[in-house]
């Protein structure tokens, strides 16, 4: 009899049936006992893992939606949005685990900001509330616009789970907050009407450049405080005149410039960035790392030399 035939005609004896059945039942019972014994600890470990993944998912949401006003490091942007990573806002926290591996957040230094505005709930709840429903009334002229409503049910782009994730991300800054002196802090309640510098009047050429900035579609990707639409794909140009000066002095610029002579003045740098956008890619954009090829490379053909001069003149004046 071939082995094949032996297998297909196999009929387990009575003893084999009873024994196999019993052993299977014992195996099932031991597996259940094994799982049951350490289940609480395993559940807690897994809960901490999912908390960690919520921070990861929240980081993605933060860089897509929040960084354009609150800064890529949560440091805040003048006139756009206050710091979220500052010790004043997030305080200082520690992650602690008990014997059963249950993780919880221990508040070492509570948020000064919540105390200031009189919010009685948790920081996490405050972040969720503000992100979801925005801030309905203007209490300060420190920011150009009120916090928008990001929650889906208030017409915003984010679902509830994304808002909870981004709150996890921001609370997580509390493990190592930015010192307050490196952050843009919001004014205390009642002190919001700070004097704002009178804008320097623009020359006619600069006015023409400003009009070009809005007409040529720059606002689709870039933002200048108080001018036209506020794009969020490319770098913010509110202080580009000052930034350009810092850039040309930086080592990163000198080391990473490709195919173009290094600019020596802010105006040259700006002109170079418009005509040859790929010559130098800055490391940080509102949505994380900046990409090459995002900016069209044909602006030299789209504008007359005079128009280009006006635009560069205008942008250089922004400091």
Partner 1 sequence: MAFVGQKLVKQIQTTGLKATVAQRLDDAFTRFTAGLSWNDVRGVLRGDPPAKPNPRVKPHTEGFWFHIRPTFYHEAVTTLYPTFRLGLLSAVFFTFEIITGIFLMIFYTPSPTYAYGNMLDILTNVPFGKFMRDLHRLGAEGMVIIVTLHMARTFITGSYKKPRQFTWFTGVVLLVVTLFLSFSGYLLPWDQLAFWAVTIGTSMADAVPLVGPEINLLLRGAPDIGAGGLLRFYLFHVVLFPLIGVIFVAVHYYKVVRFGISLPPEMEAIGEDTARKVPPEKRVNFMPDIITNELMYAGVAFAILAISCATWYSAPLEHHADPLVTPNHTVAPWYFYWLQGLLKIPHMIPLLPGGIAGEVDRFFANVFGLTPKVFWGVIVGPLLFLLLFVVPYIDPNPSRRYGDRKVMLSFGAIFAAAIIYLSLAGIPTGVPITGFGYVGGDPASEVGQAFIPDEGVGPVRRLPYSQYVVGNFPINAQPNTGSAGLDRLIREIHDDMEARKARPDPLGKTLSADATGSLEVKQIQSNLRQVIITVNYTDVDGKASQFKKYTFLHADSGYVAE
Nearer to partner 1, 51 or 144 (CB): 51
Task: Please name the helix (run of DSSP H) or strand (run of DSSP E) that holds residue 104, with its range, or none.
Answer: strand 103-109
**Would you give the DSSP letter of residue 152?**
G
The Cα–Cα gap between 13 and 229 comes to: 82
The interface region with partner 1, picked from 18-26, 105-113, 221-229, 267-275 by CB under 8 A, is: 18-26
The interface region with partner 1, picked from 8-16, 197-205, 213-221, 225-233 by CB under 8 A, is: 8-16
Nearer to partner 1, 36 or 197 (CB): 36
**Which of 1, 11, 196, 301 touches partner 1 (CB under 8 A)?**
11
The four Cα atoms 253, 221, 60, 90 give a dihedral, to 10 degrees, of: 80
The interface region with partner 1, picked from 16-24, 213-221, 222-230, 299-307 by CB under 8 A, is: 16-24
Considering only residues 19 through 58, tell me which ones interact with partner 1, judged by CB under 8 A: 20-21, 23-25, 27-28, 31-32, 34-36, 39-40, 43-53, 55-57
C-beta of 239: minimal distance to partner 1 in Å? 23
Nearer to partner 1, 4 or 137 (CB): 4
**Which of 121, 141, 291, 300 touches partner 1 (CB under 8 A)?**
291
C-beta of 54: minimal distance to partner 1 in Å? 9
Helix, strand or coil, per DSSP, at residue 227:
strand
Of 84, 57, 58, 59, give the one whose Cα is nearest residue 70.
Answer: 84
C-beta of 32: minimal distance to partner 1 in Å? 7
* Binding track, positions 266-285, relative to partner 1; x by CB under 8 A: ------------x-------
Using CA atoms, how far residue 39 sits from 44, 45, 46, in Å, is 9, 10, 10
Of 108, 76, 35, 55, give the one whose Cα is nearest residue 236.
Answer: 76
Burial class (CB in 10 A: 0-12, 13-18, 19+), 186: buried
The interface region with partner 1, picked from 122-130, 132-140, 168-176, 196-204 by CB under 8 A, is: 168-176
Using CA atoms, how far residue 245 sits from 74, 242, 264, 282, 317, in Å, is 24, 5, 9, 14, 12
Contact between 271 and 315 under an 8 Å Cβ cutoff? The reply is: no
At CA 305, angle to CA 301 and CA 310, rounded to 5?
Answer: 115
Is residue 298 near partner 1 by the rule CB under 8 A? no
Using CA atoms, how far residue 56 sits from 60, 239, 300, in Å, is 7, 31, 41
Is residue 172 near partner 1 by the rule CB under 8 A? yes
Tell me the number of residues near partner 1 by CB under 8 A: 55
Nearer to partner 1, 20 or 265 (CB): 20
Instruction: Give the footprint of partner 1 on this chain (CB under 8 A).
Output: 7-12, 14-15, 17-18, 20-21, 23-25, 27-28, 31-32, 34-36, 39-40, 43-53, 55-57, 59-60, 159-162, 169, 172-173, 175-176, 278, 288-289, 291-293
């Amino acid at each position: 009899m071939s082995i094949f035939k032996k297998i297909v005609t196999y009929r387990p004896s009575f003893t084999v049936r009873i024994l196999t059945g019993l052993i299977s039942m014992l195996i099932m019972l031991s597996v259940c006992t094994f799982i049951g014994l350490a289940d609480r600890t395993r559940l807690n470990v897994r809960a901490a893992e999912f908390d960690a993944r919520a921070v990861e998912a929240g980081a993605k949401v933060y860089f897509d939606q929040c960084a354009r006003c609150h800064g890529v490091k949560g440091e805040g942007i003048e006139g756009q949005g206050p710091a979220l990573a500052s010790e004043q806002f997030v305080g200082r926290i520690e992650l602690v685990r008990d014997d059963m591996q249950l993780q919880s957040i221990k508040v070492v230094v509570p948020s000064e900001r919540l105390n200031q505005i009189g919010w009685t709930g948790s920081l996490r709840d405050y972040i969720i509330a503000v992100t979801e429903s925005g801030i309905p009334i203007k209490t300060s002229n420190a920011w150009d616009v009120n916090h928008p409503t990001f929650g889906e049910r208030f017409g915003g782009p984010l679902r509830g789970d994304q808002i909870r994730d981004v709150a996890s991300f921001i609370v997580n800054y509390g493990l190592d907050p930015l010192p307050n002196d490196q952050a843009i802090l919001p004014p205390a309640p009642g002190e919001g009407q700070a004097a704002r510098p009178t804008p320097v009047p623009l020359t006619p050429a600069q006015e023409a450049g400003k009009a070009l900035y809005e007409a040529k579609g720059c606002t689709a990707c870039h933002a200048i405080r108080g001018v036209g639409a506020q794009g969020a794909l490319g770098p913010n140009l509110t202080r580009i005149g000052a930034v350009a000066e810092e850039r040309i002095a930086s080592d990163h610029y000198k080391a990473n410039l490709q195919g173009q002579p290094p600019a020596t003045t802010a105006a040259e740098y700006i002109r170079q960035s418009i005509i040859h956008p790929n010559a130098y890619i800055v490391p940080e954009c509102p949505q994380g790392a900046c990409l090459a090829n995002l900016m069209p490379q044909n602006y030299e053909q789209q504008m007359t030399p005079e128009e280009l001069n006006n635009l560069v003149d205008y942008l250089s004046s922004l400091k």
